[in-house]
């Protein structure tokens, strides 16, 4: 039976990001840009903390990875809404690049739900680099001004990360977490066991 005692400290940091989302939207509605940005920074910080704790305390789990991914996704959605409210002119001018990233991402989400019934939680190195770049750019934009070269780096990383996620979905028949990238997926025992079992049945 799943109870609150089953959740570890890293899970609770993920829960914070999820719970903080409606409060961030409320602050956004009230029009307090500075408070919104500081609390968004706090949410992004918990993402780094829960990952560090999970690895340090060796409490990583598929459930934790899924919670972490959901917390990341909802924080990202809130951040985008914040940019649409406070930096609409910038978002409008860069709409082509933003759509260029979002369309493959939506496609990736669709095929993940079709195949696994839920979003992926691979947590690749490329995804982490993309998330860090994204968080830094969004926060700097909300606190100060846009850094255009960083925006374009963020777009490229976002595209590459989405393409890698799609490839990994194709490579893994079953939902898995903790895949560092395509190179590591090729040697992943979870995938290799499935491949070996298939060969055995066909021989």
Report yes or no: 180 and 128 within 8 Å, Cβ to Cβ: no
pLDDT at 47: 80
* Predicted confidence (pLDDT) per residue in 145-172, tens digit: 999 999 999 999 999 999 999 999 999 9
Sign of CA dihedral 26, 28, 33, 36: positive
Helix (H) or strand (E) holding 31: none
Q: Is the pLDDT of residue 93 over 70?
A: yes
Residue 199: pLDDT over 60? no
Compute the distance between CA of residue 152 and CA of residue 28 in angstroms, rounded to an integer.
26
Mean residue pLDDT across the chain = 87
Residue 3's contacts (CB-CB under 8 Å, 6 or more residues apart) are: none
CB 36 within 8 A of CB 19: no
Q: Between 5 and 175, name the one with better pLDDT.
A: 175
**CATH code linked to domain 8-202:** 1.20.120
Q: Whole-model pTM?
A: 0.85
6 has a pLDDT exceeding 50: yes
């Amino acid at each position: 039976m799943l109870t609150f005692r089953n959740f570890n400290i890293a899970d609770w940091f993920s829960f914070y990001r999820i719970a903080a989302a409606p409060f961030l939207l409320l602050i956004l509605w009230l029009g307090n840009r500075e408070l919104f940005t500081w609390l968004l920074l706090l949410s992004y910080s918990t993402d780094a903390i829960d990952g560090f704790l999970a690895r340090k305390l060796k409490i990583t789990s598929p459930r934790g990875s899924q919670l972490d991914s959901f917390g990341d996704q909802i924080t990202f959605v809130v951040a985008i809404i914040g940019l649409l409210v406070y930096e609409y002119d910038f978002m409008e001018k860069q709409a082509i690049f933003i759509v260029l990233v979002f369309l493959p991402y939506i496609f990736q989400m669709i095929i993940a739900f079709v195949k696994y019934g839920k979003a992926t939680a691979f947590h690749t190195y490329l995804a982490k680099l993309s998330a860090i770049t994204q968080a830094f750019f969004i926060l700097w934009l909300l606190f100060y001004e846009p850094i255009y070269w960083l925006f374009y780096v963020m777009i490229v990383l976002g595209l590459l990360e989405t393409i890698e996620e799609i490839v990994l979905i194709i490579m893994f028949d079953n939902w898995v977490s903790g895949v560092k990238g395509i190179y590591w997926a090729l040697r992943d025992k979870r995938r290799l066991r499935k491949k070996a079992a298939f060969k055995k049945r066909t021989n």
